[in-house]
Amino acid sequence: MSTDQNTSTSEDQNSGADRELLPETPARLRWAELAPDVYQAMVKLDAAARRGVDPVILELVKIRASQINRCALCLDMHSKDALAAGESVERIIQLSAWEESTHFYTAKEVAALELTEAITVLTDGSVPDEVYAKAAKQFDETELTRLIAAITVINAWNRFGVTARMAPGHYTPGDHSH
């Protein structure tokens, strides 16, 4: 997570458009610097969780959880990583309304998105049996376990990002592994 301040002007960010952007809100705290052992543990957990998970599904899940959690930093990071990996702008845009645009996604991706929402929100205190069963049909047990871990990890990253108020816009694809 880069904490460097962007030195470009609002004109640079808007491709010459004649409008002035609001100033960036500073981070509340630089948690990765203040608790580097926690940050490194998160990086290791993230790396372990992603093993064996399809990288396309992984980015879709990370973007969707970050949308739900309103983590601007992670949305910036994972949208850029997905685009750099060849994901289409259209599929990324449709993620916020994937239930109305399932035809953009495979059955496996939809099952992963449903599971992501159930784990991320947990409003009823559980993941519904039908959501879990749908995911279990699409993923073998090891893949499903890793997917659940990856969803859990992005939710933890989101909570650090939102609470610390980490600013988006400074990430370059490939800079970080989460």
Q: What is the DSSP string of the chain?
A: ---PPP---HHHHTTT-S--PPPPPPPS--HHHH-HHHHHHHHHHHHHHHTTS-HHHHHHHHHHHHHHHT-HHHHHHHHHHHHHTT--HHHHHHGGGGGG-GGGS-HHHHHHHHHHHHHHH-TTSS--HHHHHHHHHHS-HHHHHHHHHHHHHHHHHHHHHHHHTPPSS---TTS---
Residue 135: per-residue pLDDT: 98
Maximal CA-CA distance, the chain: 53
Residue 2: per-residue pLDDT: 40
Residue 15: per-residue pLDDT: 58
CB 116 within 8 A of CB 61: yes
Residue 1: per-residue pLDDT: 43
**Residues of the chain whose pLDDT is less than 50?**
1-12, 14
Residue 91: per-residue pLDDT: 97
Residue 176: per-residue pLDDT: 65
**Which residues, in sequence order, are CB contacts of 55 under 8 Å at separation 6+?**
85
Structure tokens of 142? Answer: 């090891």
For helices 55-69 and 72-84, angle between their N-to-C axes, nearest 10 degrees:
160
Residue 137 to residue 107: CA distance in whole angstroms: 10
Residue 168: per-residue pLDDT: 87
Residue 178: per-residue pLDDT: 52
Confidence (pTM): 0.85
Residue 125: per-residue pLDDT: 84
